[in-house]
């Protein structure tokens, strides 16, 4: 039998369960690195997905708890798209993906893990990043720790955007 070792998963499996909406609570805390927040805008923010489909999987969300895109203000919808585009540019510079999947899952039946707080997924893709593991073994292999990906992205983030991030 082959084994895939992922000891970092124990922090998730054995750790305390988060109460409330992480897209509401994480931006209110003052530790963006620990919360994987990459960019803070006026009404939206960008963070690394803690349970990514691929390395560099980002989520762009409004600060306001809203689950339906039709309820976004003009400013929120505009900044959501601008930050999604900035995320693509950042990922291109830092990770050099071959392409992207971008979109939202609206509602639980559509696959939304956080159904009541909409967010745009920006998922970098590389040729050959899909293989038999997710299909046969129901396992996704991620070759890099989140903290390493965070550090790479921060190296390419413009200084005027970095200055808006919060640390303890």
* Span 129-155, pLDDT tens digits: 765 445 444 555 666 788 899 999 999
| Burial of residue 2 (number of CB atoms within 10 Å: 0-12, 13-18, 19+) | exposed
**DSSP-derived pairing of the beta strands 58-62 and 99-103:** unpaired
- Stated pTM of the model: 0.83
As beta bridge partners, residue 126 has none
| Mean pLDDT, rounded, for 4-16 | 62
- Return the CATH fold of 21-159: HIT family, subunit A (3.30.428)
Catalytic residue, candidates 57, 65, 117, 119: 119
Mean model confidence pLDDT for the chain: 85
Domain boundaries along the sequence of the chain = 21-159
Are 49 and 67 in contact by the 8 Å Cβ rule? The answer is no
Helix axes 74-95, 146-156, angle to 10 degrees: 100
pLDDT for the residue numbered 142:
65
Higher confidence at residue 121 or residue 165? 121
Q: How far is CA 159 from CA 36, 45, 154, 165, in A?
A: 17, 16, 9, 10
Active site residue 121: no
């Amino acid at each position: 039998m082959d084994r895939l070792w992922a000891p970092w998963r124990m922090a998730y499996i054995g750790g305390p369960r988060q109460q409330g909406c992480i897209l509401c609570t994480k931006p209110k805390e003052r530790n963006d690195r620990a919360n994987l927040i990459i960019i803070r805008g006026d009404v939206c923010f960008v963070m690394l997905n803690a349970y990514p489909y691929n390395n560099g999987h980002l989520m762009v969300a409004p600060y306001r708890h809203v689950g339906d895109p039709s309820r976004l203000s003009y400013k929120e919808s505009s900044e959501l798209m601008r930050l999604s585009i900035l995320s693509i540019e950042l990922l291109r510079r830092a990770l050099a993906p071959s392409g992207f999947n971008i979109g939202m899952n609206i509602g639980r039946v559509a696959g939304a893990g956080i159904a009541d707080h909409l967010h745009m997924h920006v998922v970098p893709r590389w040729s050959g990043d899909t293989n038999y593991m997710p299909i046969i073994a129901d396992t996704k292999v991620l070759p890099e720790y989140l903290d390493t990906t965070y550090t790479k992205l921060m190296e390419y983030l413009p200084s005027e955007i970095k200055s808006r991030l919060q640390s303890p």
